[in-house]
Structure 1
Amino acid sequence: MPNLYEFWRGLDKGERVQFCNEAKISYKYMESHLIHGRKKPSMETVQAIVDASNNKLTHKSLFDFFLGNSTVA
């Protein structure tokens, strides 16, 4: 199961834009803060990320990522 950083880096630019649109997160916020774990998203945003990823990301993988239980490449 990929973490958020791995998932994000596996998308091309168009897929990233689409993902952000579906998750209702700005591209800049995702690129600057979320994929590097600098900010912790709300539970609503976590759910939106899981949904936008078509369940390629799980709640557990996101919790581990944002709580420091996963390494960012």
Structure 2
Amino acid sequence: MSQKEYSNGDITILWKPEKCTHSGVCVRTLPQVYNPKERPWIKIENATSEELVAQVAKCPSGALSIKK
């Protein structure tokens, strides 16, 4: 299973495309970070680490996670 990593130097978001169900929770919660029409589609620098951790916890498919 492939995954991509996005880091802000404090935390790293892991995205597993195969698990993504495209529910849109990420885009609706933090649209300044997640924009599927752009590449890279995750701009982790556009939110605080706390905002990102809280949003990732809401991902229903588990496609987004925080690297420990």
Q: How does the TM-score come out when normalised to structure 2?
A: 0.41
More relative contact order, 1 or 2 (CA 8 Å, 6+ apart): 1
Q: Going by fraction, where is helix more abundant, 1 or 2? A: 1
Q: How does the TM-score come out when normalised to structure 1?
A: 0.40
Q: Going by fraction, where is strand more abundant, 1 or 2? A: 2
